[in-house]
Amino acid sequence: MEIFNAQPGTLDDGYDCPLCLNRGDSMILTDDGEIRCAPCPCMAKRKSIRYIQRSGLSELLTRYTLDSWKCREPWQKNLLETALRYARNPEGWMYLAGRPGTGKTHICTAVCGLLMDKGLETRYMLWRDVSVKAKALVNDYDRYEELLQPLIESPVLYIDDFFKAGKGKEPTEADVSFAFQLLNNRYNDSRKLTLISSELPLETVLDIDESVGSRIYQRTEGRYMNLTHYANWRLGDMT
């Protein structure tokens, strides 16, 4: 058992695991005294890294951490505390509303990084890209399901820029219908963690569609932060 566990593996995806030496599994002694080969917790993290690399969030993950979050104002401190609480004891959903530059993406990305460190499989979606794709596939059942199912099933999902439509445009009925399918399915499994950042306060989402808004509202108790009245500072540095 020790000999197996001391042998370095060949996994080579940028993550260096001290537990399994990049083999992906380890021999363990079970409670019944049996020796068994068990997958290493780093495998979930490796999976998330692959999804995140495909989605383009990987560069942000190294830049946006809670350590690099600057607390100049009380609301920023408050936001950090909420994020830390959520990352330590992840339960339910988190919704951050604010204008570009308030740091919603920074905070949500940092929390995703911490959840991935806990071994939770995490997916990222930029709302506008995925909703455009979904609307184009609405008559192609198989490919629509192929797009939607992994987003429904992922233990952690970060939806960036939720309900973002074109400039001056409102989300369409098709956007609302896609949002409902995605969020209602995640809502029905209370273990699912969902992080949402948006320019729209939840009150506006409720006005657009009550069934979508109320589901978010119920899952985010205490973790809905409306930052829309805070200034858009250091634009370009944070979004």
Binding footprint of Zn ion on the chain (CB under 5 A): 17, 19-20, 40, 42
* Nearest Cα to Cα of residue 74 among 232, 221, 230: 230
In contact, 66 and 135? CB cutoff 8 Å: no
In contact, 156 and 86? CB cutoff 8 Å: no
Q: Kindly state the smallest distance separating residue 120's Cβ from Zn ion, in Å.
A: 15
Instruction: Round to whole Å and give the CA distance between 96 and 9.
Output: 40
Q: How many CB atoms lie within 10 A of CB 138?
A: 12
Nearer to Zn ion, 15 or 75 (CB): 15
DSSP H helical ranges for the chain:
2-5, 42-55, 58-63, 74-88, 104-117, 127-136, 141-153, 173-187, 202-208, 210-219
Give the β-pairing of 25-29 and 35-39. antiparallel
Nearer to Zn ion, 42 or 125 (CB): 42
Nearer to Zn ion, 12 or 32 (CB): 12
3-class secondary structure per residue, 24-41? CEEEEECCCCCEEEEECC
Q: Kindly state the smallest distance separating residue 22's Cβ from Zn ion, in Å.
A: 7
Q: Kindly state the smallest distance separating residue 3's Cβ from Zn ion, in Å.
A: 17
Q: Kindly state the smallest distance separating residue 50's Cβ from Zn ion, in Å.
A: 15
Q: Kindly state the smallest distance separating residue 44's Cβ from Zn ion, in Å.
A: 10
Nearer to Zn ion, 3 or 166 (CB): 3
Q: Kindly state the smallest distance separating residue 12's Cβ from Zn ion, in Å.
A: 13
Nearer to Zn ion, 20 or 200 (CB): 20
| Burial class of residue 166 (count of CB atoms within 10 Å of its CB; 0-12, 13-18, 19+) | exposed
DSSP H helical ranges for 154-201:
173-187
Nearer to Zn ion, 2 or 173 (CB): 2
